[in-house]
Structure 1
């Protein structure tokens, strides 16, 4: 029985060893398969009560493990390469999709970044020279603007009208800017468009009568073309009755004194028909000139008169025109006659003088001022602010002596008659 078990155990050992050799050949196919007769002999172990396993050589086991690990590494590397390739393809697709989406959004919305108007104004202002008006040298606004006409039409076209007006007024001289602002009062520069501002500046700083040689030549050529002659000339009058920030000159006439607004842009001196009687209503003759305003409208003249006028203690003979409009202008004709351009303005604008006037004439001219009656003011309303939750207090009349009662009653009747007091029948 023991011998049978031993033969059975030896057969098992032999089968296990053959299987191990086959596995070794499968792991390393380059080696030839040995014949069973070439297998090394083995020694049968003596029978034991427990079956013992045949140990596998360590070199073969390590080779199997390394080979398996290399296979797994190659497999993992292939999978990793596939994942990286897919990731790159997905990123490329996402980038292409983003670019397509942005192109579609940009083309549909047409986004444009608006330029900064202040930066454009600052850059363009450096190319424009400041304007200074000199009528004697033919430096008018029209001549100055013609130099930058293309700049305002093309380069400044990206700006709105309000920015164009700001750029144009920025390049005006201090005196010219002040004169234009005073000219358009009570309106502001922003109330006009760019085209309107250009037209107003051309009229305000244009040719003046007697100073511009080109204007004389054009008028001379016009006279040659015409077959008839014109006896009256056209002058420009600044029809602006705004008193704010204006200078007034006291002018003494034979019949009285009036204050005229200093306006060197007006070629003639004009007073209104309303103030004509205050200087004695001198005899009027037909006007020898035709007056026009800066806007080109005709200024109707009632007539003109000649008299001696006094300014700053100087007297000269002058021609004064009278109009229906409410104008009180001291023009350049009197400025040149009295040589006011060579003296400080305060010497003749701040002087206060008075002509000898009798008291009777003042009483006749201002009867209400010299009336002995009590006056009544209609210009303002007076409002009395009383304290809240206050009750009126009854005060009995003051005792009056018997001898003074008639005089008190007469005074009360007089005050009631002139509407200073009013009687009441009861008290609250």
Structure 2
């Protein structure tokens, strides 16, 4: 059926009306969607800013456990879940903005020549964990964990939390049996004598975490052998040293002067540069004075000045034994003895004089003091004593004694040594007797006589000490004789004068 023009126009008008209605509906929906999106974005941005402001800044303090891994562990979910719609650049900027001023400066210096914006979020986290991570070694963390102690003010819940935290740092899951054995082995080396070996073992453990207990034991033996070999090299052979010094001394003393050496002045018999004893004019007869022994141009009337007569002193070769003994006597006369403090105490009811030594751990008596005590019974000692230089001090034995002073008494152990005059009162004995609570000068006396005392007044003690120290000094059998010292006193009724002939200063009576 054919459609007329009027019908076609009505159909087109209806379609146009429907299209306009759809367009109006679409505009209404679009406006509503825009309003909803803007409101949701505003709410989202507001909540994001609130979360960002709640994150505190990071300050590195490893002593109190404030490290970056611990800080990021708290806020990791916020960065990864709350800010999941944000890109890496935004999260990296936020992370660096939360660093302290010193931490940010150190971070930027560490990543040079790169800039913080050139790193991804994961790279930034890795770099910060490396820079501001745990400063203590794994051995230190485990050692501190084994030494945990509860304070009196701590609660049991707080103690459990601390144990839980330290055990997590201990890394029990990665701890092997050999590592635990090595930890206990090194922890047992607490003596000061094992300090060097302990340091070497800690270095080996840090370099190789999977080291075994057998390897550590072999390393200790190797270091001990090296130390022993070093001590063997340092030991000096006294016989070899004595022979060498003796040979050099004799060589210097017996070396004659040859004619090839040059004198300091010309010969006063002829004027040539040679020694007088080698002058060829010793038997020459002078034609001026008709005397023998000089050349004509060096005749006494022609000389401006006569040669000075040199009075030769008798040569005395100082042997190594004499030089050694004199040096030992000189060392024995130092003024350090004046400052030493001695105390007289009762040992088993007998008075004895011992030197106060607060650095000594044991009380020592010499053979002379032991004889003074009546030779009480002694028993062998298994202890090893060392002096201040680290050398071994030989102990003959130990004896049980009773000490008393000023009414206070206590029991203790004395150790006998062969070194003369080595009588020391240890620190523990001073504390037991209560001497440490007293003024030092109230219980002590001066160690030696005044320096004005002549040397021969202490000669017996010095000689006994020298004989014990080195018997070779007295191999001739008896004491070496000394000339008596003459003391000169100046007369106040004198005056000095100068002598142009003698060129010195003398005195004459007024």
TM-score (norm 2): 0.24
**Which is helix-richer, 1 or 2?**
2
Name the larger-Rg structure: 1
